[in-house]
């Protein structure tokens, strides 16, 4: 129950109560929780207190609102297991199940349009290389959990655009290109916030937190073969870490 004499703010106490009910299964996934007025009556607290608790739980991914219907319990988060995360997640060249991604668009870009490409792919500044740029959504159990952009040099993979449109798995794309098989990766991670242009694709509100992972895939000869930017919904994904000495 709510303790009005506690040093813990009332909205925080209500948050913890709702979280416990979610974790215990009393509030099941996708079920509607009591209305703001019902929570006010149940715990004898003010409406602003209830609204603050609900808003923070929605921002943290525990709840979601449907206009005109109420507030519901979010589905549990997908787990990205960092102890086995290799940076190949959501890669075009290392994907065995291309059906799990939904292509938004494919176009071509020149290295001169993005200075990072010169550094990543070790291209002289006075040289222009054409790349395939593929933007796509990744899903898990039918739910969107990441928005990705993959950039691949066309001089190394001249037929990559047609292969992607044909939904070929990576082993078909890499057939006959064994020296270019991706075997290692370098990745970086940061927390960012959803831009207006991305919100529609991720089915979230602008400003919602995302987990951004940038990866560069390399062949055995240390040739960069793919650059990937993946933006994971923080309300749908949980990162776990495990290290051994």
Residue 4 in domain: no
Claim to verify: residue 39 and residue 141 sit in the same structural domain: no
Q: What is the mean pLDDT of the chain?
A: 87
pLDDT of residue 207: 84
> Which of 40, 73, 106 represents a domain boundary (last residue)?
73
pLDDT in tens, 112-145: 998 899 999 999 988 999 999 999 998 877 778 8
Co-location of 41 and 144 in the same domain = no
pTM, rounded to two decimals: 0.69
CATH code of 232's domain: 3.40.1410.10
- Other beta carbons less than 10 A from residue 130's beta carbon: 12
| 84 and 26 housed in the same domain | no
Are residues 145 and 68 located together in one domain of the fold?
no
Residue 96 confidence (pLDDT): 62
Assess whether 51 and 86 both reside in one domain: no
Last residue of a domain, one of 18, 38, 73: 73
Same domain, 47 and 153: no
Calculate the CA dihedral of residues 242, 219, 214, 190 and round it to 10 degrees: 30
Q: Is residue 96 domain-resident?
A: yes
Q: Which of 73, 91, 107 is the last residue of a domain?
A: 73
User: Residue 240 has what pLDDT?
Assistant: 67
Same domain, yes or no: 105 and 14: no
Which pLDDT score is estimated for 201? 93
245 belongs to a structural domain: no
Whether 222 and 194 share a structural domain: yes
Q: How many domains does the chain have?
A: 2
Give strand pairing partners of 148. Answer: 136, 230
Residues 23-63: pLDDT tens digits?
899 999 889 999 999 999 999 999 999 999 999 898 777 88
Segment 57-102, tens digit of pLDDT: 987 778 888 888 999 998 776 655 555 555 666 788 887 665 568 8
Q: Are residues 114 and 44 in the same domain?
A: no
Whether residues 153 and 172 share a domain: the answer is: yes
Q: Are residues 65 and 111 in the same domain?
A: no
What is the per-residue pLDDT for 89? 67
Q: CB-based contacts of 109: which residues, under 8 Å, 6+ apart?
A: 117, 130, 131, 133, 151
- In angstroms, the CA 45 to CA 2 distance is 9
Q: Could you tell me the CATH number of the domain that includes residue 22?
A: 1.10.10.10
Residue 109 falls within a domain, yes or no?
yes
Residue 1 lies in a domain: no
- Note down the domain range covering 18: 10-73
Distance CA(116)–CA(124), nearest Å, equals 12
């Amino acid at each position: 129950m709510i303790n009005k004499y506690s040093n813990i703010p009332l909205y925080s106490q209500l948050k913890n109560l709702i979280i416990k009910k979610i974790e215990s299964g009393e509030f099941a996934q996708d079920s509607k929780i009591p209305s703001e007025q019902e929570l006010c009556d149940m715990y004898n607290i003010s409406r602003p207190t209830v609204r603050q608790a609900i808003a923070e739980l929605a921002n943290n991914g525990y709840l979601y609102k449907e206009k005109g219907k109420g507030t519901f319990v979010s589905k549990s988060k997908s787990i990205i297991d960092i102890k086995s995360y290799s940076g190949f997640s959501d890669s075009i060249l290392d994907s065995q199940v291309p059906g799990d991604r939904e292509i938004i668009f494919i176009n071509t870009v020149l290295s001169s349009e993005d200075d990072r490409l010169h550094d990543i792919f070790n291209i002289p500044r006075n040289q222009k290389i054409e790349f395939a740029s593929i933007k796509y959504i990744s899903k898990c159990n039918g739910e969107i959990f990441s928005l990705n952009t993959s950039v691949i040099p066309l001089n190394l993979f001249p037929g990559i655009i047609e292969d992607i449109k044909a939904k070929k798995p990576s082993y078909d794309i890499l057939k006959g290109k064994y020296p270019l098989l991706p075997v290692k990766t370098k990745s970086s991670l940061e927390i960012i916030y959803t831009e207006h242009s991305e919100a529609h694709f991720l089915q979230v509100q602008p400003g919602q937190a995302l987990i951004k992972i940038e990866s560069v895939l390399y062949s055995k000869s240390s040739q960069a073969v793919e650059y990937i930017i993946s933006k994971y919904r923080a309300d749908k994904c949980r990162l776990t870490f495990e290290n051994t000495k």
